[in-house]
Structure 1
Amino acid sequence: MKKILIAGGGIAGLATAKALQNQGYQIKLIEKQPDWQTIGTGLYLPSNGVIALDKLGLGDIARKKGFLISSRNIKDANGKTILDLDLQKIWGREKPCLGIKRKVLHEILIEGISNIDISFNTTINTLKINPDSVTIELSNGNKEEYDLIIGADGLYSTTRKLLLGDIPLRKVTAQVCRFMIQKPKEINSWTLYISPAGQFLIIPVDNDTAYCYVNRKTRGFKTFDKDQYMNPFKGFAPPIAKILKEWNPEDAYWNDLEELPKLPEMGKGRVVLTGDAAHGMPPFMAQGGALAIEDAIVLSGLLKTEDWNTIAPAFSKNRNDRIDWTRARNQKREKLSKLPFWIAKMGLKKVGEKNWTEDYRPLSKTPDW
């Protein structure tokens, strides 16, 4: 029986475990945290990610526990609509996209896996690629040999560093803020408020809860005192003022946005990188979770047909077009987000729907899985 090690217990690692668990492999999953880290904020899953969950057999339960999203609404600070996008038209499917708590998606994936050896508080210390296997030493001192290593350990991947060396990340934006709120009754779609001050996004993740993502516009990488960060948004149209009256910066998640440069190959030989470890990028296209779940499905199929000694280049060849498109469109959106507000507003009104449709057109086509 072939042995596979999955490094990382996030969306990419759990989706991969789910995709591989009934294919006759002996699978071990290691996670650096002491337990499942089922905390966090929310997640917007575009339609290709929902379809990927369907392929794993988890789409229906995710729809039941999340919030189906059929439109994207972009408004100015006064609440006046700038662009109203019909997502069913863009994706060619009814109720195509999903808002869901990250915690809930993790739990769905965890509950979906079985017959897998799981070790917490464990990372890879050393890694050596042999002619037909990979030998590793774990942080607990154990030396083990596997037929395949899958690095699904995120943007700051240890597996990637051991395999390819230290690859510097590109800093994109400093200090974005994420937090959860009680869902306002009037918010039933992906809803973005924009102004010269920045962006305030609200996404329902179930019938009672919404996820907020706030990015204050600055020059360079300036940061603000957390207590003062929301000041420019307090005069925005309802429901934002009410949200901010109850908001506590200590209950929010703060981080910079960073991008992993394109790798020459997503792995090497019998070591494959997936998810953010392979193609981490900022959330302008909201494709992090979706592409990670797709990776799991594609890799599980390739392992049935490809030589495992060359599985990394085979996986890269299969995934490059889709990921490269997403990265390019993501970078385009990054540039647009830095335009003067009046130019961005005019562009959204004139060509917003056209651009959004073009952005997602290749991703709306379900691959031959």
Structure 2
Amino acid sequence: MKKVLIAGGGIAGLAIARMLQHKGHHITLIEKQPKWQISGTGLYIPSNGIVALDKIGLGDMVRKEGFIVSSRHIMDSNAKMLLELDLEKIWGRKKACVGIKRKKLHDILIDGIDKVNILFDTTIKNLKTDPQYIDIELSNGHKEKYDLVIGADGLYSKTRTLIFGDIPLRKVTAQVCRFIIKKPKKVNSWTLFISAIGQFLIIPIDNDSAYCYVNRKTKGLKTFDKELYMEPFKKFASPVPEILEKWSPDHSYWNDLEELPKLPIMGDGRLVLIGDAAHGMPPFMAQGGALALEDAAVLATLLEDEDWSNVASTFSKNRTHRIEWTRIRNQKREKLSKLPYWIAKLGLKKVGEKNWTEDYKPLAETPNW
């Protein structure tokens, strides 16, 4: 029986735990929080993430508990349509994309995990890699040798720091706001309002709820008073003003957008980094959760090989092309988001569908997992 340690109980960590728990291994999952504390926001899962969930065996459940998103509507602040995308056409499959509450996805992932030892309020304190095993000292003082360690502890991964040292993140945007609302009756698609002052995105996440993501444009990394952040958006077309009548900055989630530079390898020998710990990037392609789910599916297949001594290298070779394509396209989207509004608006009308289709084309191809 091989011993596996998973650091991090987010999407990536729980997904790989689900896939490995019945393989005859002794699995321990450590979570730095004292209990499950899942962000009360939403998540948009593009089709490649849904394909990965199908591989894990949870795709149908996610479709049922979330909201099938079949189209993307990009409009100006007066609700004039700039670009309408058929997501089933772009991805080449039915029920392609899903919006879902982040906590609901977490609950789906953890439900049925019954062969994993979960330790809360615990992190990796020290580690030492060896061709035959990894020596681990946990923050609770426990020491043990593991055949495999999986770092799934997010963008600010301590596991990654223990391998590579401190890798500075690139700050992309200084302040974005996220919150959940009662779903407006007329909003049944991925719905984005844009203007020179910023973006207001509404995504249905079940029949009754929607997730809002708001990014106000600034020069450089300027931040705004949270109480005044939404003022310019109150002039947008319905349903934005109605949403903001009930909005509170205190019931919203605020964060910066940051990007992890490309790693030379996603781990070291028997230690593998997955999810944001390996390739965290801002959500311009909405691929954070999707790539994390893919990572779990790919790694679970690779671990069917009995030799785990260099699994980090094998995993990196399997994932590099897909992840780097996403990173490059994500950075392209970032640059487009910073263009003068009139140029962005013209581009959406002229080549928006062509660019969107090209961005996701390789990701739409189902990998041989």
1:179 matched to 2:179: yes
User: What is the CA-CA distance between 1:259 and the residue it aligns to?
Assistant: 0.1
Q: Which residue of 2 aligns with 1:61?
A: 61
User: Over residues 239-260 of structure 1, what are the superposed CA-to-partner deviations in whole Å (9 max), with x where a residue is unaligned?
Assistant: 0000001100000000000000
Q: Which residue of 1 aligns with 2:252?
A: 252
Q: Distance in 1 between matches of 2:101 and 2:151?
A: 24
User: Over residues 183-228 of structure 1, what are the superposed CA-to-partner deviations in whole Å (9 max), with x where a residue is unaligned?
Assistant: 0000000000000000000000000000000000000000000000
User: What is the CA-CA distance between 1:37 and the residue it aligns to?
Assistant: 1.9
Q: Distance in 2 between matches of 1:366 and 1:307?
A: 26
User: What is the CA-CA distance between 1:309 and the residue it aligns to?
Assistant: 1.1
1:224 matched to 2:224: yes
Q: Which residue of 2 aligns with 1:212?
A: 212
Q: Which residue of 2 aligns with 1:50?
A: 50
CA contact (8 A) 1:4 1:28 kept: yes
Q: Which residue of 1 aligns with 2:318?
A: 318
CA contact (8 A) 2:266 2:273 kept: yes
User: What is the CA-CA distance between 1:286 and the residue it aligns to?
Assistant: 0.3
Q: Which residue of 2 aligns with 1:328?
A: 328
SS at structure 2 position matched to 1:336: helix
CA contact (8 A) 1:6 1:149 kept: yes
Moved over 4 A (4+): none
Q: Give 1:158-307 correspondences, 5 Å limit.
A: 158-305=158-305, 307=307
Q: Distance in 1 between matches of 2:90 and 2:334?
A: 21
Q: Which residue of 1 aligns with 2:151?
A: 151
Q: Which moved more, 1:298-307 or 1:96-105?
A: 298-307
- Give the % identical residues: 71
CA RMSD of aligned residues (A): 0.7
Q: Which amino acid aligns with 2:58?
A: L
Q: Which residue of 1 aligns with 2:139?
A: 139
User: What is the CA-CA distance between 1:112 and the residue it aligns to?
Assistant: 3.2
Q: Which amino acid aligns with 1:138?
A: L
User: What is the CA-CA distance between 1:83 and the residue it aligns to?
Assistant: 0.3
The count of residues paired between Structure 1 and Structure 2 equals 369
Q: Distance in 2 between matches of 1:114 and 1:57?
A: 16
Q: Which amino acid aligns with 1:298?
A: V
Q: Distance in 2 between matches of 1:21 and 1:142?
A: 22
Q: Which amino acid aligns with 1:86?
A: D
Q: Distance in 2 between matches of 1:6 and 1:140?
A: 16
Q: Which amino acid aligns with 1:205?
A: I
User: Over residues 128-173 of structure 1, what are the superposed CA-to-partner deviations in whole Å (9 max), with x where a residue is unaligned?
Assistant: 0123000111000011110000000000000000011100000000
User: What is the CA-CA distance between 1:304 and the residue it aligns to?
Assistant: 1.2
SS at structure 1 position matched to 2:310: helix
- Where do 5+ consecutive residues of structure 1 fail to align? none
Q: Which amino acid aligns with 2:175?
A: Q
Q: Distance in 2 between matches of 1:37 and 1:117?
A: 18
Q: Which amino acid aligns with 1:3?
A: K
CA contact (8 A) 2:131 2:270 kept: no
User: What is the CA-CA distance between 1:306 and the residue it aligns to?
Assistant: 6.1
CA contact (8 A) 1:306 1:314 kept: no
TM-score of the two chains, using structure 1 as the length reference: 0.99
Q: Distance in 2 between matches of 1:290 and 1:131?
A: 31
Q: Which moved more, 1:21-30 or 1:346-355?
A: 21-30
SS at structure 2 position matched to 1:38: coil
User: Over residues 258-304 of structure 1, what are the superposed CA-to-partner deviations in whole Å (9 max), with x where a residue is unaligned?
Assistant: 00000000000010000000000000000000000110010011111
SS at structure 1 position matched to 2:55: helix
Q: Which residue of 1 aligns with 2:26?
A: 26
Q: Which amino acid aligns with 1:230?
A: M
Q: Give 1:90-169 correspondences, 5 Å limit.
A: 90-169=90-169
SS at structure 2 position matched to 1:304: coil
User: What is the CA-CA distance between 1:27 and the residue it aligns to?
Assistant: 0.5
User: Over residues 92-139 of structure 1, what are the superposed CA-to-partner deviations in whole Å (9 max), with x where a residue is unaligned?
Assistant: 011210000000000000103221111000000000012300011100
SS at structure 2 position matched to 1:255: strand
Q: Distance in 2 between matches of 1:113 and 1:74?
A: 39
Q: Distance in 2 between matches of 1:115 and 1:226?
A: 44
Q: Which residue of 2 aligns with 1:9?
A: 9
CA contact (8 A) 1:204 1:211 kept: yes
CA contact (8 A) 1:155 1:276 kept: yes
Q: Which residue of 2 aligns with 1:359?
A: 359
CA contact (8 A) 1:38 1:104 kept: no
